[in-house]
Amino acid sequence: MPLELVKEEWMGKISEVTIGATKEEGGSRTSVVTVGGETGLSFLPSESEMPHRPVVAMEVWDVVPEDWPEEVVKPFKEVMDDPARWSKKCVDEYGADLICLRLQSAHSDFGNVPVDKVSEGVKKVLEAVGVPLIILGPGQDDRDNEVLPRCSEVAKGEKCLFGDATQDNYKTLVAACMADGHNIIGQSPIDINIAKQVNILIADMGFPLERIVIDPTTGGLGYGLEYTYSIMERARLAALGAGDKTLALPIICRVGQEAWRASQGKRERFSRLGHSFGTGTSVGSNYSCFPSCSRGRYPHHASSPGRGKCEADDR
C-alpha cells in the first residue's frame, strides 16, 4: 500500500524583495540580489518552492571599531580606516553578496560626525563596490533621523535596504525610503507581535509591504537563539498558513553581531577548546544552516559586539 505523505498546502507566499538597481534600472549596481519568494517551509522542495538562496552580507563600519575582538579585526586590519577599501575587500576577497554599511561614525559616542561627511562616506562605498548596500544608522533615534534621510537621498535610485525602522522611531526613515525608492528593515525586539506591529505601522504610512524586510533580532546561541528561532517559525506559519501579509516578508538576521557579543571570557574558553577563529568564520556559522532560520536572511559574518536590543515588557 503506497504511503500517503502529509504535504502542506499553504495559501500564502513570502514576498520577493530586490535589493540594488543596475544602471538600466536607475542605479549603478553591477549586481542585484533578490530574496524571499518562498511558498512553503524551508528546505522541503517536494512541497514548496524556495526560489532564492539566502545571501550573505558583510558588515562594514564607517569608523574604526574600537572593541571588536581580535579574531574579527585581523583580516580587515589594514582597511578598517577606509570603508570603501574595506567594502571592496569583502566583495573581492570574500565574495560578499552585499555590503552592510553601519554609519557608526554618526553615533554620539563614536565621533558624532556631521551629516554631510557621513553621506559622503556612503557615496564612496557606492562607488567602490558594485554589490547592493544595506545601510544602517548608528541606532540612536535622533542621530538616525538626521543622518539616514540624507544618506537615502544620496543613494537615491540604488534600491538599498535601509535600517532600522522600529516601533518607537519609524516615521522619518519610512518617509525617506518612500521618497527615494529604497527598501526598509522593520526591526523588533524578539517579539512576534511587535514584528508585525512595526510592519503595519510602516505600511500604514503608505509604504509598500513588499519592500519591507523583517529583523526579528537574533539572540546568539546560548543567548536566546531559541526565542528568535520560534519567532521565525511562527512568522512563517502565520504568513503561509493564515495568509498574513504583514508577516509574509523575508527575514534578515544579524547573527555575527550576536555571536561576537559573547564575552571575552567565553571566547577565550572557546579558543582553549581548540577552535581556531579563522577568517570570516564564527561560532555563528554553525547554526546559520537552520532550515527555518536561513530562508531569505543574510547572516552578517563579521560584525560588531554591538547593541543588543531586547526589551522585555516588565510589568
Cis peptide before 67 (omega within 30 of 0): no
Scan residues 145-204 and list those touching other proteins (CB under 8 A).
167-168, 171, 191-194, 196-197, 200-201, 204
Q: Which is nearer to other proteins, 20 or 219 (CB)?
A: 219
Closest CA to 88 of 120, 34, 131: 131
DSSP 8-state symbol, 186: E
Is 73 a binder of other proteins (CB under 8 A)? Answer: no
Comparison of 24 and 312: residue with beta carbon closer to other proteins = 312
Q: Minimum CB separation from other proteins for residue 8, in Å? A: 8
The residues that bridge with 136 in the sheet, in sequence order, are 102, 163
Kindly indicate which of the ranges 19-27, 80-88, 152-160, 271-279 contains the residues binding other proteins, using the contact rule CB under 8 A: 271-279
Check binding of 11 to other proteins (CB under 8 A): no
Lay out the site mask for other proteins across 219-258 (x = CB under 8 A, - = otherwise): --xxxxxx--xx--xx--x----x----------------
Other CB atoms within 10 Å distance of the CB of residue 302: 26
Least gap, CB of 205 to other proteins (angstroms): 8
Structural contact between residues 151 and 136, judged by C-beta atoms closer than 8 angstroms: no
Which amino acid belongs to residue 39?
T
CB of 207 to other proteins, least distance (A): 13
CA-angle at 39, arms to 178 and 14, nearest 5° = 15
Which parts of 107-136 interact with other proteins (CB under 8 A)? 109
Q: Which is nearer to other proteins, 121 or 137 (CB)?
A: 137
Closest to other proteins by CB, 18 vs 304, is 304
If you search the block for the grid coordinates 500500500, which residue do you land on?
1
Question: Exposure of 106 by Cβ count < 10 A (0-12 exposed, 13-18 middle, 19+ buried)?
Answer: buried
Pairing state between β 33-36 and 16-19: antiparallel
- For the bound state, the minimum distance from the C-beta of residue 181 to other proteins, rounded and expressed in Å, comes to 23
Least gap, CB of 85 to other proteins (angstroms): 28
**Binding status of residue 141 toward other proteins by CB under 8 A:** no
Q: Which of 53, 123, 208, 310 binds other proteins (CB under 8 A)?
A: 310
Choices 11-19, 81-89, 123-131, 279-287 (CB under 8 A): range interacting with other proteins: 279-287
Distance in angstroms (rounded) separating the CA atoms of residues 149 and 145: 7
Q: Which one-letter amino acid corresponds to residue 43?
A: F
Residue 43 found at the interface with other proteins (CB under 8 A): yes
**Residue 157 to residue 227: CA distance in whole angstroms:** 36
Q: Please say whether the beta carbons of 107 and 113 come within 8 A.
A: no
Give the chain's end-to-end CA distance (angstroms, integer). Answer: 56
- Longest pairwise C-alpha distance within the chain: 72
* Under rule CB under 8 A, residue 283 binds other proteins: yes
Q: Contact at 8 Å (CB) between 213 and 35?
A: yes
In the shown chain, the binding pattern of residues 290 to 309 toward other proteins, with x for contact by CB under 8 A and - for none, equals xxx--------------xxx
Q: How many residues bind other proteins (CB under 8 A)?
A: 56
Whichever of 30 and 193 has its CB closer to other proteins, that residue is 193
DSSP label at residue 247: T
The site for other proteins (CB under 8 A) is made up of 2-3, 5-6, 43-46, 109, 167-168, 171, 191-194, 196-197, 200-201, 204, 221-226, 229-230, 233-234, 237, 242, 270, 273-275, 281, 283, 285-292, 307-315
